[in-house]
Structure 1
Amino acid sequence: MKVQDKVFVITGGARGLGAGMAAHLASQGSHIALIDIDQASVDKTASVLSTNGILVKGYECNITDEAEVETTFAKIKHDFGRIDGLVNNAGIMRDGMLIKVKEGELVGKMSLQQWQSVVDVNLTGTFLCGREAAAIMALQDDGGVIVNVSSVSRAGNMGQTNYSATKAGVASMVVTWARELARFNIRVGGIAPGLIATEMTAQMKPEAIERLLKSVPLGRLGEVDEMAHTLQYIVENDYFTGRIIEMDGGVRV
């Protein structure tokens, strides 16, 4: 499926990877519906991306709320007339060790709130948005494509019980949905990025970045444009479905 003149919904689209992938698709002639938790931020990104002939609109939505997701996707369908692609990019991190023991005493535990908040956004949010997009695409004449953003951490990573579990779940949805939705000509793919240069990594201490880069064979952070290029490959390759592309510079965790 060529991206030109197609309509893509991108969650977590106000900044970072979401905004970068949206900018790339818009530059290729796609129309974009951006979903994020804050209306002002998503409107700002939409105004930057809008150009002559390209429609970009922002939608405030809490993707953990079923009613809000249903209403938002109905609005997008009304505003754009159709949905050709969904990029399930929204996600959060609330890292912490499962337990902390010091001098023979238990001094801390990952809280239920740490666990549940990540599950709600990363897993439930991906499920709800994928379900609503699929319901719209299935009734169109030419299907569509869903791309879930997982993570190299889906294999398990210290201090990320919650995050790793959700990203593994997101990856499993790729395979499950690909098998279920193929009958409607809906393809489903996934990207598992490693360390990507975004506003979040820019706030990290240089020594932390240096330590992390020691695990990357290519010795550098990935670029948002490289992530966007991977997304475009999945969208445009009509025989690609049910698989995850690891975009991690060779990292294995």
Structure 2
Amino acid sequence: MKLQDSVIAITGGGQGLGRAMAEYLAAKGARLALIDLIPEKLDEAAEACKQAGGDARTYECNVTRESDVEATFEAIMKDFGQLNGLINNAGILRDGLIVKVKDGKVEKRMELSQWQSVIDVNLTGVFLCGREASTQMINNGDQGVIINVASLSRAGNMGQSNYSASKAGVSALVPVWAKELARYGIRCMGIAPGMIETEMTDSMKPEALERMTAGIPLKRMGKPEEIASAAAFIFENDYLSGRMIEVDGALRL
């Protein structure tokens, strides 16, 4: 798929990895539909995309609400007239041990709300957006690509029952959708980032960062643009489908 003039929707596109991917793709001539919950972040990201050389429009949407998602993708089609790609990137963290024990007694447990909120955004949101994107692509006769952003934690990470489960689910959807949608000219791939430099890590103390990176074979965290380049590679290679690309510096949990 040629990125020039392709229309690509990105959930969580107003900040973090979503914005980094949007700017990278905009520089290659893509037109971006940025989906997020924070209007100010969306406006900043859209302006950055335009400065990078691409067009961008913004859509305020809660990906856990079916009606919001349906209306958003209908609006994208109305605004752009086509849809060629979706990056399912929106996600949240609500970390905690399933049970926390002190002096042989359970003193705290992961609340159901901690579990459900992460599953709702990270997994149900991916399902809803993937379903709507594929619906619009098929009805409009657009061949396209869906990229699900998972995580190294999909293999299981202590303190992340909810997050690990959600990202394992996101990963499992990749081969399912690749098989189901291939007949319509739609590919599906996944990216599983490792430890990536973010606004959060920028504020950490040097010694804490050093401890974090010590276990990574490449001895550094990944950069957002390295995730973005993986996304561009997926879009541009028409024989990639049904697989995960792990961008983690050889780190394994």
For 2:73, give the aligned amino acid: F
Unaligned stretches of 5+ in structure 1? none
Q: Deviations over 1:160-188 (max 9, x none)?
A: 00000000000001010000000100000
Where does residue 207 of structure 1 map in the other structure? 207
1:51 CA drift (Å): 4.4
Where does residue 114 of structure 1 map in the other structure? 114
Unaligned stretches of 5+ in structure 2? none
1:48 CA drift (Å): 2.3
Q: Deviations over 1:213-247 (max 9, x none)?
A: 12210000101111111101111110000000000
Aligned length: 253
1:41 CA drift (Å): 1.7
Moved more, 64-73 or 135-144: 135-144
Where does residue 124 of structure 1 map in the other structure? 124
Q: Aligned partners of 2:52, 2:41: CA distance in 1, in Å?
A: 21
Alignment partner of 1:99 is 2:85: no
Identity percentage of aligned residues: 55
Where does residue 183 of structure 2 map in the other structure? 183
Where does residue 192 of structure 2 map in the other structure? 192
1:52 CA drift (Å): 9.2
1:37 CA drift (Å): 0.7
For 1:159, give the aligned amino acid: G
Q: Aligned partners of 1:205, 1:166: CA distance in 2, in Å?
A: 29
1:104 CA drift (Å): 1.3
Q: Deviations over 1:85-112 (max 9, x none)?
A: 0000000111101101111111111111
TM-score by length of 1: 0.97
The RMSD of aligned alpha carbons is 1.3
1:203 CA drift (Å): 3.1
Where does residue 82 of structure 1 map in the other structure? 82
Q: Where does 1:18-37 land on structure 2 (aligned, <5 Å)?
A: 18-37=18-37
For 1:156, give the aligned amino acid: G
1:84 CA drift (Å): 0.3
1:114 CA drift (Å): 0.7
Q: Deviations over 1:97-154 (max 9, x none)?
A: 1101111111111111110110010001111000000001112334100000000110
Q: Aligned partners of 2:111, 2:100: CA distance in 1, in Å?
A: 12
Q: Where does 1:29-48 land on structure 2 (aligned, <5 Å)?
A: 29-48=29-48
Q: 1:207 to 1:117 in 2, by over 3 A?
A: farther
Q: Aligned partners of 2:51, 2:141: CA distance in 1, in Å?
A: 28
Q: Is the 8 A contact 2:23 2:52 kept in 1?
A: no
Q: Aligned partners of 1:79, 1:54: CA distance in 2, in Å?
A: 15
Q: Deviations over 1:14-37 (max 9, x none)?
A: 111000000000000000010001
For 2:82, give the aligned amino acid: R
Alignment partner of 1:73 is 2:73: yes
Q: Aligned partners of 1:31, 1:49: CA distance in 2, in Å?
A: 9
Where does residue 63 of structure 2 map in the other structure? 63
Q: Aligned partners of 1:202, 1:164: CA distance in 2, in Å?
A: 24
TM-score by length of 2: 0.97
